[in-house]
Structure 1
């Protein structure tokens, strides 16, 4: 068997062990995803107003809220900024 084949089998075995909760050398990364709808409602904004104020495509916002998509790490960080500093985030975007 080729080296590639051996590596592929070893990788799949490690992935299966990780999925079973067994200790492995696999690295994991957790991205905290904010509740976008709750954030928007807390700010008292409609979907259109929130998307417009923070320059988020409306279709993207709707996808997040409806659970069809999840914000990636960068979008999650941006949403955290909006959650903690909504006025500053909006002001920074108006200045740009």
Structure 2
């Protein structure tokens, strides 16, 4: 489970409080929020949080298993719509699964 240790390493370096305060300051200044690009570890994290196999996750996203594998390996990047759905899976996988079933 290399991708989980990569996620843990990434998150260990984050200062969530500082990120939240910076976001609030951007809102107060009426500045657009920084965009977050989905990474291969995010795709794997979303699938794991949803407790879905690659085949079922790919079907839910409307892509082939091969495409999902290429996202998880960092070979290709998900489209904007797929990135939005992946972000939702990370935040609330049960809601997304129920809404799409």
1:72 equivalent to 2:79? Answer yes
Query: Root-mean-square deviation (CA), in Å?
Result: 2.2
Give the structure, 1 or 2, with the largest relative contact order (CA under 8 Å, sep 6 or more): 2
Give the TM-score normalised by the residue count of structure 2. 0.51
After TM superposition, the structure 1 = structure 2 runs for residues 16-31 of structure 1, keeping only pairs within 5 Å, are 30-31=35-36
Aligned length: 66
Specify which of 41, 44, 52 is matched with residue 37 of structure 1: 44
> Which one has the largest radius of gyration?
1
Greater share of helix: 2
For 2:94 and 2:71, how far apart are their aligned partners in 1? 22
In structure 1, runs of 5+ residues without a counterpart are: 1-28
Moved beyond 4 Å, runs of 4+: none
Q: Find the counterpart in structure 2 of residue 88 from structure 1.
A: 95
Q: Secondary structure at the match of 1:70?
A: coil
Give the TM-score normalised by the residue count of structure 1. 0.54
In structure 2, runs of 5+ residues without a counterpart are: 1-33
- Is the CA contact 2:45–2:90 (under 8 Å) kept in the aligned structure 1? no
The Cα shift of 1:91 comes to 1.2
The Cα shift of 1:33 comes to 1.0
Taking structure 1 as reference, are residues 76 and 93 closer, same or farther at Cα in structure 2, changes over 3 Å only? same
